[in-house]
Structure 1
Amino acid sequence: MYQAFVIDDEPKVRKGLSKLIPQLDEEWEVVGEAENGVEGLKQIEQLRPHLVFTDIRMPMMDGLDLLHALQTYPLQVVILTGYGQFEYAQAALKLAAIDYLLKPTKPQEIFEVLSRVKKTQQNPQPIDWLKSTHQESKVQIALEYIHEYYKQDLSLEDCAASIQMNPSYFSYVFKQEMGVNFIDYLTHLRIEKAKELMESTNQHLYEISQQVGYSDHKYFSRIFKRIVGVTPSGYRSFSNRGER
């Protein structure tokens, strides 16, 4: 059996997660609970679980202090928080937390964590690999969301919410994974889609502008020229000449 430990000063959250874990995966059992980091550390030293879920804001010893104390232990830690602040996520990940989940967590998110930790127990991998694999999967889901909704008034906050990630942290992870920031990626995607429409349809340029997410045609023209080097009308004329 794989063993988990839950630390949270909210009894409802603590009891709920302890009940949920074995329901999601029968190979997991919760061997203990605690309402603060001090109590949790004492039990963890004795029980030595494979995985610890801990709140980040607790009395006596918070989640970050607990992470410091657990750094020498052969276990993995997931941070739970309702605060949604990037600074906490960044600090937790630097201290080797494998994940950062916003409350209320979804059963699917917990299940994914349990599955990943099981795999590392069966085939040990560095913690950095475990974290990067999860980040990559989150970014891939975000990319699918962007490609589906780029025609709408899409914001970084919308995209982050679609994968249950803090916006600031999502921005950091997206840039790290893709090599460009969110708005640059979205802008280039929209411009590429606009070029495709100019080449394959006879739609008016203002209609194409709206179809790729720009309600202001003049703004679209400025962005298009900045990226492509010519105006939309100039690009269409050039592409039409190339077809002759």
Structure 2
Amino acid sequence: MHILIVDDEPMVRSSIARVVTALGEPYAAYEADDGEDAIAMIQKEPIDLVITDIRMPAVDGLQLAEIVRRLYPHIRVVLLSGYSEFEYALSALHSGVYEYLLKPASKDSLLNLIFKVHEELQQEKAQDLLGRLRENSVMEKRVQELLYGLPVPHADKDLFPDFHSLAVFVIRAETTELPPRSLRFAMKNVIEELLGKAGKAAVIVEDSHLVGVLFASADLGTNGYCDEVSGEISKVLAQLYRVATTIRYSAGSGGLDELGLLYVEGMRRLSGMDAYSTEADVQTEREEWHRLVKITLKWIEEEYAGELTLASAAQRLFVNPNYLSVLIKSQTDMTFTQHLVRVRIGNAKQMLAETQLKIYEICEKVGYADQAYFSRLFKASTGMTPYEYREKVTL
């Protein structure tokens, strides 16, 4: 805590400064003999508390308090006043002055004041930290949603920093078993710090890998920087945690909506597909993406009544579920679940129109065990309950 004592009487200044200095860390005392010197000191040092006499030449205590209130509102100002100035000092409390002390101020009154301000500052710092952690947590959640092609609520867009370019780093630990979750979160903090040198970073911890998103404040230019920071991340993680990592990245200069595609590209590279350079190879790559999506959609059409899930489809294709999820969304503008619901409800409509099966039987045949849940999905998709739909199409 940095305390500035302002008084044109050297003995008064030094007396208060000795009280502060005797406290040791984290307290530090600074001195100024008038308001002008005090302003110059505030511009150079991170002052938390100003203890100032009222009567001083040039800029007096009240003028100093007004300047501090206007330019440095986080700094608390305490007035030192004689008994004859008591009413004058008291009225200043309404002008943003934190408190006043009668001269000569006792050691106990000074200590009580200093400890009170220090406690308030600690509470404010804790609240600020908690607020930043909450904001970072929400931003990370929104980043994760963008990676998977989900829209971000308009109200949360202000959480994202201004940036010139984007880079997505996909990081996988090369171990027979994944590191414990606690270690993955420790790795997250290191990655966040290293990426944060070039802007604002958000790191997402997945089950099989970590994703570092860098909102770079400058143009990343060529891939030189990304190569450099990837190497630094690998080196530091190996030194700190003895974890060997494979890192792949993809960079761009577009907007937030580009994150999903950058993530797909990073995951593709992590999966072993080399970067393509020629137009023909780019077409081959797109055909590979299309093949994975086409196979998945074919399975949905054929196996909708069973226990097909995104995870099981990804396992059969030997790709990461998140990668497959983003790929389907980027290629079709629909998620895996939306496709599955579409096929199931479509087949349910056909059965309702063409068979005499009971609704609970149709529910089971299209893959739902809960009839109430099936009815809600059906109505959300068609605007009618299964019973209402059957009544309409069989009239």
Q: TM-score, normalised by structure 1?
A: 0.52
Match of 1:222 among 359, 363, 376: 376
Which residue number in structure 2 is paired with residue 93 of structure 1? 265
Match of 1:158 among 309, 312, 321: 312
Q: Distance in 1 between matches of 2:384 and 2:300?
A: 26
Inter-CA distance 92–185: structure 2 relative to 1 (3 Å threshold): closer
Which residue number in structure 2 is paired with residue 193 of structure 1? 347
**Tell me, what secondary structure is at the counterpart of 1:152?**
coil
Q: Distance in 1 between matches of 2:354 and 2:293?
A: 30
Q: Distance in 1 between matches of 2:349 and 2:385?
A: 11
Gap regions ≥5 residues in structure 1: 1-8, 11-56, 69-86, 103-112
Q: Deviations over 1:102-138 (max 9, x none)?
A: 7xxxxxxxxxx89xx9xx9xxx525432321111011
Q: Distance in 2 between matches of 1:216 and 1:166?
A: 29
Q: Deviations over 1:155-177 (max 9, x none)?
A: 21112112111000000001011
* Residue 100 of structure 1: how far off its partner (Å): 4.7
Q: Deviations over 1:29-68 (max 9, x none)?
A: xxxxxxxxxxxxxxxxxxxxxxxxxxxx988996547x89
Matches within 5 A, 1:1-244: 64=247, 93-94=265-266, 100-101=270-271, 125-241=279-395
Q: Which has the larger Rg?
A: 2
Inter-CA distance 219–91: structure 2 relative to 1 (3 Å threshold): closer
Q: Distance in 1 between matches of 2:337 and 2:264?
A: 26
Q: Distance in 1 between matches of 2:264 and 2:349?
A: 43
* Residue 200 of structure 1: how far off its partner (Å): 1.0
Gap regions ≥5 residues in structure 2: 1-173, 176-232, 239-243, 251-258
Give the conservation status (yes or no) of the 8 Å contact 1:98–1:131.
no
* Residue 205 of structure 1: how far off its partner (Å): 0.6
Inter-CA distance 142–93: structure 2 relative to 1 (3 Å threshold): same
Superposed structure 1 runs of 4+ greater than 6 Å apart: 57-62
Q: TM-score, normalised by structure 2?
A: 0.33
Q: Distance in 2 between matches of 1:240 and 1:92?
A: 46
Identity of aligned pairs, percent? 26
| Letter in structure 1 aligned against 2:316 | S
Number of aligned positions between the proteins: 149
Give the conservation status (yes or no) of the 8 Å contact 1:145–1:162.
no
Q: Distance in 2 between matches of 1:100 and 1:133?
A: 18
Give the conservation status (yes or no) of the 8 Å contact 2:314–2:320.
yes
* Residue 101 of structure 1: how far off its partner (Å): 3.3
Give the conservation status (yes or no) of the 8 Å contact 1:98–1:130.
no
Give the conservation status (yes or no) of the 8 Å contact 2:264–2:326.
no
* Residue 197 of structure 1: how far off its partner (Å): 0.7
